[in-house]
Structure 1
Amino acid sequence: MAAHRNLFSIVVLSLCLCFAHCILVRTKNFQRNKEVFRFYRPPSEYNYKTEYFAQKVDHFGFHNKDSYQQRYLIADQFWDPNGGPIFFYTGNEGDITLFCNNTGFMWDIAPEFKALLIFAEHRYYGTSVPYGPTAFKDPTKMNYLTSEQALADYAVLIKHIKTTTPGAGSSKVIAFGGSYGGMLAAWFRMKYPNVVQGSLAASAPIWTFLEDANCDAFDYTVTETFRKSSPDCVNNIKALWKTLGTTASQAAGLSKLSEMFHLCKPLKTMDDLDALKGWIQSALVYLTMVDYPYPSSFLAPLPAWPVKAACRPLSTPLSGDNLIMGAVKAMNVYFNYTGTTPCFDIGTEATPDLGIRGWGYQSCTEMVAPSCSNGKTDMFEKSDWNFKSYSEGCLETWKVKPDIDWLETQYWGKNLSSASNIIFSNGLLDPWSSGGVLKTQSDSVVAVVIPNGAHHLDLRGANKKDTPDVISARELEKKYITKWLN
């Protein structure tokens, strides 16, 4: 889940939950949901066992008897089999080992709660792919990639663990998840309250994926996070797009930009300029998502407070070539902080791997996030939300059209009055907080707001540079979990 841009087809280098460079050709309105994340897989910091469980491909029909092997990770070294709870991570759109190694909060509190840890992989991601890689070429087989089927997988898996693990039969289950996984954690409690006692839904933008969502809220939040670091930085970025166009239109202007940005392949057409803009815009979005108070490598190797670092060369009014060079330095913070990248490949050719294909399909069925920029309250070029062109792109790519109303029907939209035992946590630096639940809905559906937090910062492991607000958020979350278990 991430950025977007431009009414014409553009090629955007982005970063993928599947740990690879992925480059996508998409129309502007077809893109935010299609963006991928490049994650650096760190060495495993935690000890767990890898298991597999045979899941039905179709939980809601009786004709298809096919099954697939769902991967899950299990850690029982902290668990008290005499009443200890199960902490269950609802896997996102990617390899489950990534989330296992980047959800340190679960590992940090497991000894205190004497919990059994389970990290379940989402169907069609990682190694848990029904029908194998060929499924992505067959719409009839992709038809089983839905959030509903994934939640049913989790419910069935928990039943299996409880019936086959001595001592787990009476264990209460708390669900954890971040981003799309956070959405699943919340919906898991709502759809299967008999299975899960409560849920921590971190950075779960469940209201982004509604037809009446404010389509420019995402870009506004990106802009405000940058503004917090430097108002001049925002003004410079806002002016950058016109400056790039002016330079590109000059004689040898595209060659000049290619040299200034150290591109591996020179820009040759104005469509390539759109690709360059998309590449820059994606970095600006990801910088806000991982604006952590300490160095991290979740999306890429980055310094502490990377938005501030990217804004330093743009912190005074600039114009012309000086503005472009400031942007080049800002891009180096995200794409080349280690200084080991000789040139930048903004992408013209690539085949997306299985992970991005999976999310691409989901964003063309249930997960539609209206996306636009007004160019006034945000620092991006103006662009409109066009659901018709979005649907046409989906039909061309996947032979399906999205149902923008289905999530509200299936998961209650903004009416959470019947829900219970859910924590919605959001960091206000994170652009996805614009679609999150920021106000407490009831005594048991509570909002935890982290003013200086980025994307699911509270789910990350404790760090000596954590801000006081995320430390307080984790303590409050522990209190609610304790309440639910008691």
Structure 2
Amino acid sequence: MSRCTSKFVRKNVNMIFKCLILNLLWKYTFSEYTFDIKYSDVPVDHFTIQNKTFKLRYLINGDYHVKGGPVFLYTGNEGNIFMFAQNTGFMFDIAPVFNALVVFIEHRYYGESLPFGNQSNTPENLRFLTSSQALADYVHVIEELRKTYFATILTNDTLPVVSFGGSYGGMLAAWLRMKYPTSVIGAIASSAPIWYFRNMIPCEKFYEIVTGVFEKFGTAQCTNIIKASWEILRNVTKTSSGMKHLYETWRICETFGNATDVEKLVDWLSDIYVNMAMTNYHYPTNFIVPLPAYPVKTFCDKLVSLNSTDPLSTLANLGKALTVYTNYTGSTLCNSINSTSKYLGEYTWDYQACTELVMPICSTNKDMFETQPWDEKKYSEECSKKYGVSNSRPDWIVSEYGGKNLKYFSNIVFSNGMMDPWSCGGVTTNISSNIWAVNITDGVHHSDLRSADPADTNYVIEARKFHVKSIKKWLNMF
């Protein structure tokens, strides 16, 4: 959720990558952009004969749309769609160039798009949460848009739609083009780890990249303190007095007093380090949580500056440094170790990670994390305990979307920030004359989809120019 967005200068197309920084308003208005909120009645299950539907939310901005112009469609991620709309200013920056309608579709089971209302997260009702169902939702909405904005008495032609997405949304944007090429003419898939599955990449690469970001923007001393802190944390929490000390020092919201709580804390802490590396943008942002520019550097500077004399002071100082992430605004009363962001549907995403999107991550002595091998059996058992389900077909996602056999598809740009840990599972080399890879040397998590900023480097600017060139090519072909 960026604190700024760009104002497009209409008079000069060459200025689309420059911007005025304006305050963003949460809710429905983003600087000069105002969304119409729409709902589509989509089937709960697209692949059986049944009549049950639910309200799928989507957002429309028609400020720059001219009849016959394309639709720029964002395929929603694992959270409230407004968060992604706030952080994908690139679509608005280039919409006037193409007279485009801008649409953001919320992913089923996230935000307000709940197939079974407040009962959507029960194991029985979660069975309709799959990427293939989500893609069918998007096609359903595209057909509604076609009837509303393109079809006339004289023509029933296909609406020119370009899909955009970042992270899981980027995976969906690419898969939408692959599975439904008559609905989408091309896709900009940013930070999309479509190859991050079993037997496709070494499981240790993810944490190695995170560690590299902390070493580059912090210091080796910072990563050494983090690496040593895991054993300290484990030792301190072996006693009830140690647990109480950590509970009070880190201001933990939930009750904290057993081994399960410690494991939850370790996972929470690991996720925070990952999130800081992913969102290590060169300006302040509100994406995932409010953060300063270069949050990794800010965190490491604070951690290294504090003097630790014993295990308890080490953990206390780590807690102080963590406020860069947990309490940058100064408004956090306590820290919930059940979540690292109130805008992401973490419980629901974990279900997807258990049943379909199993992405193996392990840590070794080469990174700053607690050393843990990937244990598929243990992972499956934990999923079964939490949701009553597990992934019985761990390789199905590869079969479903083609794995690395992308040469049969067309009109997709895969872009990756090379400082983003998810880049290790992304497409980083050209596949064909129609499947391109754009590598942003100093980029982090979908940097290129954010609004233009005066501090943007040439790498991200050039990536955006390549996207514009590609979209023009697709539309000319259309």
Q: Place the TM-score, normalised by the shorter chain, in its bin.
A: 0.7 to 0.9
Partner of 1:439: 429
Partner of 2:41: 54
Q: Structure 1 stretch 173-182 or stretch 456-465: which is displaced more?
A: 456-465
Structure 2 matches for 1:12-411, cutoff 5 A?
44-45=29-30, 46-62=33-49, 64-81=50-67, 83-137=68-122, 139=124, 141-166=125-150, 169-229=157-217, 230-248=219-237, 252-263=241-252, 268-269=257-258, 271-315=260-304, 320-321=310-311, 323-346=314-337, 355-374=345-364, 376-402=365-391, 403-411=393-401
Amino acid at match of 1:89: Y
Q: Structure 1 stretch 46-55 or stretch 205-214: which is displaced more?
A: 205-214
Distance 1:463 1:243, change over 3 A: same
Amino acid at match of 2:122: K
Amino acid at match of 1:146: T
Q: Distance in 1 between matches of 2:325 and 2:397?
A: 34
Amino acid at match of 2:98: F
Q: Structure 1 stretch 476-485 or stretch 316-325: which is displaced more?
A: 316-325
Q: Does the CA-based 8 Å contact 1:57-1:144 persist in structure 2?
A: yes
Distance 1:257 1:54, change over 3 A: closer
Q: Distance in 1 between matches of 2:238 and 2:251?
A: 19
RMSD value over aligned CA atoms?
2.7
Distance 1:264 1:454, change over 3 A: same
Report the CA distance between 1:342 and its aligned residue: 4.7
Q: Distance in 2 between matches of 1:65 and 1:170?
A: 26
Partner of 1:15: none
The number of equivalent residue pairs is 441
Q: Does the CA-based 8 Å contact 1:310-1:329 persist in structure 2?
A: no
Q: Distance in 1 between matches of 2:75 and 2:294?
A: 28
1:17-61 CA distance string (max 9 Å, x none): xxxxxxxxxxxxxxxxxxxxxxx9566302111112222222222
Uncovered stretches (5+) of structure 2, i.e. residues with no partner: 1-24
Q: Does the CA-based 8 Å contact 1:91-1:99 persist in structure 2?
A: yes
Partner of 1:454: 444
1:387-446 CA distance string (max 9 Å, x none): 122222333333332121111100011111111111111112221112111112112211
Distance 1:397 1:271, change over 3 A: closer
Amino acid at match of 1:49: D
Q: Structure 1 stretch 360-369 or stretch 407-416: which is displaced more?
A: 360-369
Q: Does the CA-based 8 Å contact 2:79-2:343 persist in structure 1?
A: no
Amino acid at match of 2:34: N
Q: Distance in 2 between matches of 1:246 and 1:357?
A: 29
Report the CA distance between 1:246 and its aligned residue: 4.2
Report the CA distance between 1:99 and its aligned residue: 1.5
Report the CA distance between 1:252 and its aligned residue: 4.3
Report the CA distance between 1:355 and its aligned residue: 3.4
Q: Does the CA-based 8 Å contact 1:79-1:115 persist in structure 2?
A: yes
Amino acid at match of 1:61: T
Distance 1:265 1:175, change over 3 A: closer
Report the CA distance between 1:269 and its aligned residue: 4.5
Amino acid at match of 2:318: A
Report the CA distance between 1:265 and its aligned residue: 6.6
Task: Give 3-state SS (helix, strand or coil) of 1:50's partner.
Answer: strand
Distance 1:347 1:404, change over 3 A: closer
1:323-343 CA distance string (max 9 Å, x none): 434423320111112233354
Q: Does the CA-based 8 Å contact 2:71-2:102 persist in structure 1?
A: yes
Q: Does the CA-based 8 Å contact 1:210-1:407 persist in structure 2?
A: no
Q: Does the CA-based 8 Å contact 1:90-1:184 persist in structure 2?
A: yes
Q: Distance in 1 between matches of 2:408 and 2:150?
A: 34
Task: Give 3-state SS (helix, strand or coil) of 2:302's partner.
Answer: helix
Q: Structure 1 stretch 200-209 or stretch 462-471: which is displaced more?
A: 462-471
Distance 1:56 1:239, change over 3 A: same
Partner of 1:9: none
Task: Give 3-state SS (helix, strand or coil) of 1:385's partner.
Answer: coil
Partner of 1:469: 459
Report the CA distance between 1:243 and its aligned residue: 2.8
Amino acid at match of 1:433: S
Amino acid at match of 1:301: P
Task: Give 3-state SS (helix, strand or coil) of 1:364's partner.
Answer: helix
Q: Distance in 2 between matches of 1:347 and 1:124?
A: 19
Q: Distance in 1 between matches of 2:221 and 2:268?
A: 21
Q: Distance in 2 between matches of 1:209 and 1:145?
A: 19
Task: Give 3-state SS (helix, strand or coil) of 1:297's partner.
Answer: coil
Q: Does the CA-based 8 Å contact 1:136-1:142 persist in structure 2?
A: yes
Q: Does the CA-based 8 Å contact 2:244-2:256 persist in structure 1?
A: yes
Report the CA distance between 1:102 and its aligned residue: 1.6
Distance 1:387 1:463, change over 3 A: same
1:128-185 CA distance string (max 9 Å, x none): 222323243252x432221111111211221221122256855411100111110000
Partner of 1:22: none
Distance 1:272 1:152, change over 3 A: closer
Partner of 1:422: 412
Amino acid at match of 1:116: L
Distance 1:269 1:151, change over 3 A: closer
Q: Does the CA-based 8 Å contact 2:191-2:415 persist in structure 1?
A: yes
Amino acid at match of 1:174: V
TM-score by length of 1: 0.83
Task: Give 3-state SS (helix, strand or coil) of 2:354's partner.
Answer: coil
Q: Structure 1 stretch 336-345 or stretch 458-467: which is displaced more?
A: 336-345
Identity, % of aligned positions: 44
Report the CA distance between 1:87 and its aligned residue: 0.6
